[in-house]
Structure 1
Amino acid sequence: MAFTRATGKHRGPSRLSRRGAGIAGVATLATTGVIGTLASPALAADADTRSVEDTGLTQVVAADALADTIDAQAAAQEREAAEAEARAKAEAKRKAEAKRKAEARAKEIREAKERAAREAERKRLNSFQLPVAGSYVSTGYQTGGSLWSSGSHSGVDFHAAYGSTVVSVGTGTVVEAGWGGAYGNNVVIRMHDGTYTQYGHLSSISVSVGQSVTPGQQIGISGSTGNSTGPHLHFEARTSAEYGSDINPVAYLRARGVNV
């Protein structure tokens, strides 16, 4: 009689089945005393099988370690970038503060110079000086003689060669500029303190009525016009613009800091 096998797919025993059979075989051999020569190859094969099966876990652990390393590197780079940005901001802030301080200091210096210049100008405008630089009094105040209609000198004469520059002794406004009879060509200035000064016997006049003048500003050229015996500057200090209100011109200039 012939026997036939049922049709269908047939597979060899699985790895688990093979391992189970192997273990059973080892147990049988152990009971029969035949294990010395057969056990070692079977156990070695099983160890090889475990080694191959454990490879996937090892790869997962290695991948996790690599990912951790990459994350750590990325975090370190982010920290470095943040620190660099913070340093850049701090440096920019430091430079901006230094610039602000420099600008503030420059402004202080500029303002101090401007104040000093204004103060110097204020002092200059309030100052007085000789009407002819480096000159001296050649004829004193109230000197008597027939040269003067009043019988005495109403001012002082400053030595001045013909063509010498005559300047305003201080800050003021011109109230007379032209012919003054015995004074010849003359200029009268109302000073900023309310007093008046007169400059006579000029050969020419450089200012006009209403003009403001400052200390040392030229108002004319010395000469010998009018009632004069030679080139010089007749200078008077007055309480008004009119003749006869004269005061001592030397005392007047000295009281205002001029060395006469």
Structure 2
Amino acid sequence: MAFTRAAGKHRRPSQTAVRTGANIAGITTVASGVVAGIAGPALAATGETPSPQDTGLSQAMVIGDSLSGQIDAQAQAQESAAEAAAAKAKAEAVARQEAARKADAAAKKAKAEREAKERAAREEERKRLNTFVSPVDGSSVSTGYQASSGLWSSGSHTGIDFSASTGTEVQSVGMGEVVEAGWGGSYGNNVVIKMNDGTYTQYGHLSSIGVSVGEKVTPGQQIGLSGATGNVTGPHLHFEARTTAEYGSDMDPLSYLRSHGVNL
């Protein structure tokens, strides 16, 4: 009995189909990123070395290496830029801190110097205000205290006279307040000052008066000009030191001035 074979059912796969499947497998492997050479079954069976054209691996590997290098270079450049920016920011912060420290130190130094100058100025002013001076610069005593003469109603001189021509500047011997400024009878035009230490000083025979009652005066301040008003024989300055503003409370004016540091 003769058997017949169904046409095409058990036909051996053709060589072409096998090669096509191998090529497809190779392409799929490369596309998935696996860097390895997979030869098609037909080439492996024959022992032939597959060519790059058959596998497509060479081109894929070259492209992959180039892209990876670019990414690494870019990442390294970004990292370097970030490090440089951080270093610059740190240096700027340090510079700002140093500048602030120097500015603070300079401000403290300037403040200390200013305060020292102010203290020195206050001390100098305090000394000046507590200093006594001669009522007439460069003059000398022409008539002493308690000198006897019929020229004075008390019979003796209640003050001292300083040589001074008419118009010579007369100054307060110290700091005080004017309590009298005007005509004083035999003293002519006169000024009486209550000093800060509670004593009083008088300046007589002035040709003019430059202060008024209630005015504060300082050592060396001009209060008038010398002259020959009142009971006099010639121009000079009559100066008295008193314990009160009234006549008769006089004390030795030369000793008074010397006790306050005036060299006469």
Deviation at 1:255, TM superposition (A): 0.6
SS of the residue 2:248 aligns to: coil
* Distance change (3 Å), C-alpha of 1:15 and 1:49: farther
2:69 is aligned with 1:65: yes
Q: Distance in 1 between matches of 2:88 and 2:142?
A: 84
Deviation at 1:200, TM superposition (A): 0.6
* 2:256 counterpart residue number: 252
Superposition CA RMSD, Å: 2.4
* 2:225 counterpart residue number: 221
* 1:93 counterpart residue number: 97
* 2:136 counterpart residue number: 132
Deviation at 1:57, TM superposition (A): 3.4
User: Structure 2: which amino acid aligns with 1:170?
Assistant: G
2:112 is aligned with 1:108: yes
2:26 is aligned with 1:20: no
Gaps of 5+ in 2: 1-6, 9-13, 24-38
SS of the residue 2:211 aligns to: coil
Which of 232, 242, 245 is residue 246 of structure 2 equivalent to? 242
Deviation at 1:180, TM superposition (A): 1.1
* 2:182 counterpart residue number: 178
2:196 is aligned with 1:192: yes
Which of 150, 153, 159 is residue 146 of structure 1 equivalent to? 150
SS of the residue 1:108 aligns to: helix
* Distance change (3 Å), C-alpha of 1:14 and 1:179: same
* Distance change (3 Å), C-alpha of 1:140 and 1:22: closer
TM-score (norm 1): 0.83
SS of the residue 1:85 aligns to: helix
Which deviates the most, 145-154 or 192-201? Answer: 145-154
Task: Deviation per CA, 1:198-235: give whole Å up to 9, x if none.
Answer: 00111111111111111111111100111101000000
User: Structure 2: which amino acid aligns with 1:256?
Assistant: H
Deviation at 1:49, TM superposition (A): 5.4
Which deviates the most, 141-150 or 228-237? Answer: 141-150
Kindly report structure 1 stretches of 4+ aligned residues shifted beyond 3 Å.
Answer: 10-13, 17-26, 47-52
Gaps of 5+ in 1: 27-41
* 1:80 counterpart residue number: 84
Count of aligned positions: 237
* Distance change (3 Å), C-alpha of 1:25 and 1:83: closer
User: Structure 2: which amino acid aligns with 1:235?
Assistant: F
Which deviates the most, 250-259 or 13-22? Answer: 13-22
User: Structure 2: which amino acid aligns with 1:188?
Assistant: V
SS of the residue 2:136 aligns to: coil
TM-score (norm 2): 0.82
SS of the residue 2:165 aligns to: coil
Which of 207, 212, 217 is residue 208 of structure 1 equivalent to? 212
* Distance change (3 Å), C-alpha of 1:70 and 1:230: same
* Distance change (3 Å), C-alpha of 1:124 and 1:25: closer
